[in-house]
Every structure is written in structure tokens, then in C-alpha cells.
Amino acid sequence: MIPFFVQIKCHLGRAYDVANALADAEIASEIYSTAGDYDLLVKFYVPAGTDIGHFVNEKVQLIAGIQDTKTIITFKAFTGAR
């Protein structure tokens, strides 16, 4: 499984609606509210070989209340163990 994150900017007053829609769709691993330029930070896992761009376009950006997204692809998780 390949992890990646998406920062989501919501239309005003819609952050909780978007978070609930993501949770109901059961496509996100973790959903966080954030301060700053984006309202939510969402962690996803997809099978290796999945086109992340298509996934975001077809599964995430179509959720009502989303204004903008920024996808962050990660390379290595550091767990604190050396």
C-alpha cells in the first residue's frame, strides 16, 4: 500500500461536512482539521500501481464542499527507531 496526504480547502462553513463525507466514503485512513491555508489534512492508502492523480480526481475532489486540494506524496516514514 502506498500512503499519501491531501490538504483540502473547503468552502466556508463546509469543513465538517467534507470530513464526514470522507469518513462515510471509507476511503481515508485519517482525517485531521488544520489551521492555515487548508482546512483538512487527510491520509490515504492506495494499492501499489494505483494512479494517485486519478484517485484524487475521482474519489476526493468530487465531494461537495471541496474548493481546492494539494496532494503530498511521501517517500519514507521515520518511526523514531534508528
| 78 falls within a domain | no
| 12 falls within a domain | yes
In the chain, the number of structural domains is 1
| 81 falls within a domain | no
Q: Is the dihedral of CA 57, 63, 69, 71 positive or negative?
A: negative
Rounded Cα–Cα distance for residues 54 and 63 (Å): 14
| 82 falls within a domain | no
What residue numbers bound the domain in which 51 lies? 2-73
Average pLDDT on 2-8 reads 97
Rounded Cα–Cα distance for residues 74 and 2 (Å): 9
Give the pLDDT confidence score for residue 77 in this predicted structure: 85
Is the per-residue pLDDT at 81 higher than 70? no
- Reported pTM: 0.92
- Cell numbers at residue 73, please? 506524496
Q: For residue 15, what is the domain's CATH number?
A: 3.30.70.920
Rounded Cα–Cα distance for residues 18 and 40 (Å): 9
